[in-house]
Amino acid sequence: MIQKEGKMEKFKLLNDVEMPVVGFGTWQIEDGEVVINAVSDAIELGYTHIDTAAIYKNELGVGKGIKKGLEKTGLKREDLFITTKVWNDDQGYESTLKAFETSLKKLDLDYVDLYLIHWPLTKEFGEEQWKEKVSETWRAMEEIYLSGKTKAIGVCNFLVEHLEELFENCKIKPMVNQIELHPGHNQEETVKFSQKHNIIVQAWSPLGSGRVLENKLLNEISEKYNKSTAQICLKWLLQQNIVVLPKSINKNRIESNIQLFDFEIKKEDMEKITNMEPTGFSGCCPSTSKF
């Protein structure tokens, strides 16, 4: 599944599109100079995969950061893998088509590499209404994919029940499921189910938004390998064939979060991390959160 290509490795999606295994996460980075600089720094430091979303309200800045990064490095648009997502308020057939065009315009791009449904919406819409809504949204996603304006489509925060429902009505299977994952928040059932269906799992908040970085076990393992605790968290995910999307606005941390390809976590340490005590999570539950 992994292709070696210099330092950065790639996973192949169901439709053979290749996705770099480390992406730059932009959730909680404010629009304007901060995100412009963070994204262009990331590209300069070797990231070729950038993840944003309409609800992050920074697509304008991300687009400008991409341009700046391309200018600095001499890379071309097609060397990058760019993701954005349709927010809950825009779910539905027509509104998803419209939201996609709005995102494209803000990013100032002709196409994206991956377009995702951001949340499954269950509670807010009620059981039956959710099913109808997600199926309409997915119809629009399939249409956008077939138009060539996105190279791949997928979902975020879909648990097994949501994926099973989507499978009932889809013509094109989701290629990606982006979920909250970090040591102490394994989401094993969703990961296993997604991977069994050849859906690439991406981890949002792979450092638990910083929450897990003081964990004693992770700090001990970090010392043992002479790597930062953040690098241990990210590598633990990569070794499970999970794409990581770390966020940072600090240039040194942006740089170190991508230096993951010169070491391997041993099986016994992988298991220790997998079995460590729960560390909590954002509190955003795909089955109950009401956004």
Contact between 55 and ligand A2P per CB under 6 A: no
> Smallest distance, Å, CB 125 to ligand A2P?
28
Q: How far is the CB of 207 from ligand A2P (least distance, A)?
A: 3
DSSP state, residue 64: H
What is the distance between the alpha carbons of residues 20 and 31, in angstroms, rounded to a whole number? 24
Q: What is the CA radius of gyration of the chain?
A: 18
Rule CB under 6 A: choose which of 257, 260, 269, 286 binds ligand A2P.
257
User: Quick one: 8 or 249, whose CB is closer to ligand A2P?
Assistant: 249
Amino acid at 102: T
d(C-alpha 238, C-alpha 88), whole Å: 29
How many angstroms from the chain centroid is the CA of residue 244? 7
25 binds ligand A2P (CB under 6 A): yes
Which residue stretch of 66-74, 127-135, 148-156, 247-255 sits at the interface with ligand A2P (rule: CB under 6 A)? 247-255
Q: Is 253 in the site for ligand A2P (CB under 6 A)?
A: yes
Q: Is the CB of 10 or the CB of 247 nearer to ligand A2P?
A: 247
Q: Of residues 63, 65, 184, 246, which one binds ligand A2P by CB under 6 A? A: 246
Residues 6 or more apart in contact with residue 236 via CB below 8 angstroms = 183, 265, 270, 273, 274
In whole angstroms, give the CA distance from residue 47 to residue 25.
10
**CA distances in angstroms from 104 to 54, 143, 268, listed in the order given:** 10, 15, 45
If one asks whether residue 92 binds ligand A2P (CB under 6 A), the answer comes out as no
Q: Does 208 bind ligand A2P (CB under 6 A)?
A: yes
Considering 47, 56, 115, 145, which one is annotated as catalytic? 56
Q: Binding to ligand A2P by residue 207, rule CB under 6 A?
A: yes
Q: 221 CB contacts (<8 Å, ≥6 apart)?
A: 232, 265, 269, 272, 273
Question: Which residues 221-240 are close enough to bind ligand A2P by CB under 6 A?
Answer: 228, 230
Among 8, 14, 60, 249, which residue sits at the site for ligand A2P (rule: CB under 6 A)?
Answer: 249
Residue 48 as a binder of ligand A2P (CB under 6 A): the answer is no
Helix extents (H) in the chain: 33-44, 59-73, 93-107, 122-125, 127-147, 160-169, 188-196, 216-225, 229-238, 251-256, 267-274
**Min CB(160)–ligand A2P separation in Å:** 23
Residue type at position 1: M
Q: Is 145 a catalytic residue?
A: no
Please say which residue, 175 or 207, places its beta carbon nearer to ligand A2P.
Answer: 207
Q: Enter the tokens of residue 152.
A: 């791949």
Catalytic positions, written as ranges? 56
Residues at the interface with ligand A2P (CB under 6 A) = 25, 205-210, 213, 228, 230, 246-250, 253, 256-257
